């Protein structure tokens, strides 16, 4: 005999309650997992910023100053008298450091046909500052150099890398918009529209790099100036820089006179007996909880990077600033960005209200990532160079093309006259 089980109303209610309870318990469990993961505050994933260990994934050809006519002038000046050591100094030393580090990089190749990226070295900021080349000569020399590079013509410059280490960015080459508009530009500057009609930085192809912090401050085992405990710092904030006639900086100088016990902003002497030396500069910088970094001639400032090595929290007062390696660094963990239009007593009130515990936490986070500002060999587990190479690796293309590049059924690359790539003669036509 078959028994028929009827489903009573009590059974239906019980089933609904069981479904509801399961749903609520699942949501509660998910929330507990989310809270646990967020409260653990994991360290920055620095390993993400390292390029793959296999050189097959990234191969960079570095042009030699003797293989391209004119390239030596971009490195040494018209008379070849500017030494690399001269250009290594100061905040623009990245133009030399990146070149020298690529020369001994494990990702370097000596075979152009095996390369997927090409590095064009030049120290134009330095040779211009020393008077070894003027703006007209720089422009003419760059055009001459590029016309002798068939590989640049093959890709329209998309696989060629250039370093412009100052606030002027690629504008040091007046015709950059014509010739380098597809190339990869390494620069600390993401905006220069205050003096130019357009910015040379393109977030889709270019890479923001850290400024060159003085070598004496980046050596962890022998730093020239050591941080001091937070409780022993004399000032709430400081601004160590020249006013340069800029509104934000002039406002800080004015505020320092109104609140001398909170903000230190001494008048910096660039020469003479009262010139502030590098060691004294960093001793002043470390004596505040917050280091103010306003816009100067351009949006970036070296003071932002220096602050991490004296362990004060950088306060960015430059609205258009672009910061490096944003794919791995959360800058809200290690710095403050305040509207430049609100520089005034309100800023001090805000900074004074931040608990020392939070300041210490931000300093600690900054201590973890400051290795990414240090230009060291790419075998270091964390360095500016490793991070730059990681960014470059993401730009590698398997195929190269330009409006003047064509290809045939046998996979040969030809120009508009159907001349095979390896038979192209220099000077090649440029855009």
**Domain boundaries in the chain?**
60-208, 215-373
Cα–Cα nearest to 392, from 132, 51, 3: 51
Q: In what order do the strands lie in the sheet with 288-294?
A: 263-264, 235-238, 288-294, 313-317, 336-337
pLDDT for res 70: 95
Give mean pLDDT, residues 287-303: 91
The CATH architecture assigned to 215-373 reads: 3-Layer(aba) Sandwich (3.40)
Determine contact, residues 413/405, Cβ cutoff 8 Å.
yes
What is the rounded CA–CA span in Å between residue 343 and residue 338? 8
Minimum mean pLDDT range among 10-19, 182-191, 197-206: 10-19
Q: Phi/psi of residue 117, each to 5°? A: -140, 155
pLDDT tens-digit map of 356-403: 999 999 999 999 999 999 999 999 989 999 999 999 999 998 888 888
Strands (E), 142-224: 160-163, 184-187, 207-208
Determine contact, residues 311/366, Cβ cutoff 8 Å.
yes
DSSP string, 138-203: HHHHHHHHHTT-HHHHHHTTTTEEEE--STTGGGGSTTHHHHSTTSEEEES-S--TTTSSS-S--T
Which pLDDT band holds residue 12 (cuts at 50, 70, 90)?
Answer: low
Within 8 A by CB and 6+ apart from 386, the residues are: 49, 50, 51, 378, 380
Which pLDDT band holds residue 95 (cuts at 50, 70, 90)?
Answer: very high
Which pLDDT band holds residue 33 (cuts at 50, 70, 90)?
Answer: very low
pTM, full prediction? 0.85
The structure tokens 């587990």 sit at: 381
pLDDT tens-digit map of 125-183: 999 999 999 999 999 999 999 999 999 999 999 999 999 988 888 889 999 999 999 99
What is the rounded CA–CA span in Å between residue 316 and residue 335? 8
Break the chain down into helix, strand, coil percent, rounded to 5. 40, 10, 50
């Amino acid at each position: 005999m078959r028994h028929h089980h009827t489903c009573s109303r009590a059974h239906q209610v019980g089933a609904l309650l069981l479904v509801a309870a399961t749903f609520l318990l699942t949501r509660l469990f998910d929330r507990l997992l989310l809270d646990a993961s967020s409260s653990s505050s994991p360290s920055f994933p620095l390993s993400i910023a390292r390029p793959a260990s296999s050189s097959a994934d990234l191969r960079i050809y570095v042009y030699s100053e003797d293989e391209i006519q004119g390239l030596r002038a971009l490195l040494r000046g018209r008379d070849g008298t500017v030494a690399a050591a001269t250009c290594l100094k100061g905040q623009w030393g990245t133009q030399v450091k990146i070149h020298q580090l690529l020369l001994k990089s494990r990702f370097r190749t000596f075979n152009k046909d095996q390369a997927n990226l090409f590095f064009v070295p030049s120290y134009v900021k330095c040779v211009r500052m020393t008077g070894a080349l003027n703006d007209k000569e720089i422009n003419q020399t760059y055009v001459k150099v590029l016309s002798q590079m068939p590989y640049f013509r093959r890709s329209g410059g998309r696989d060629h890398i250039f370093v412009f280490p100052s606030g002027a960015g690629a504008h040091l080459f007046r015709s950059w918009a014509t010739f380098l508009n597809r190339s990869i530009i390494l620069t600390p500057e993401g905006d220069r529209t205050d003096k130019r009609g357009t910015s040379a930085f393109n977030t889709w192809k270019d890479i923001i790099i850290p400024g060159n912090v003085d070598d004496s401050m980046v050596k962890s085992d022998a730093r020239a100036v050591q941080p001091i405990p937070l409780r022993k710092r004399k000032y709430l904030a400081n601004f160590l820089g020249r006013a340069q006639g800029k509104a934000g900086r002039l406002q800080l100088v004015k505020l320092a006179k109104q609140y001398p016990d909170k903000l230190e902003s001494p008048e910096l002497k660039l020469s003479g007996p009262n010139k502030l030396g590098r060691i004294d500069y960093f001793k002043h910088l470390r004596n505040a909880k917050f280091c103010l970094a306003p816009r100067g001639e351009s949006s970036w400032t070296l003071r932002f990077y220096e602050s991490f090595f004296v362990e004060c929290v950088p306060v960015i007062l430059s609205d258009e600033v672009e910061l490096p390696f944003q794919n791995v660094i959360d800058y809200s963990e290690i710095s403050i960005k305040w509207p430049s239009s609100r520089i005034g007593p309100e800023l001090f009130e805000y900074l004074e209200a931040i608990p020392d515990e939070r300041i210490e936490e931000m300093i600690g986070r900054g201590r973890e990532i400051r290795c990414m500002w240090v230009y060291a060999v790419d075998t270091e587990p964390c360095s500016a160079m490793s991070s730059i190479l990681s960014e470059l690796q993401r730009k590698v293309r398997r195929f190269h093309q330009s409006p003047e590049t064509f290809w045939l059924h046998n996979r040969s690359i030809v120009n508009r006259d159907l001349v095979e790539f390896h038979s192209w003669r220099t000077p090649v036509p440029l855009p």
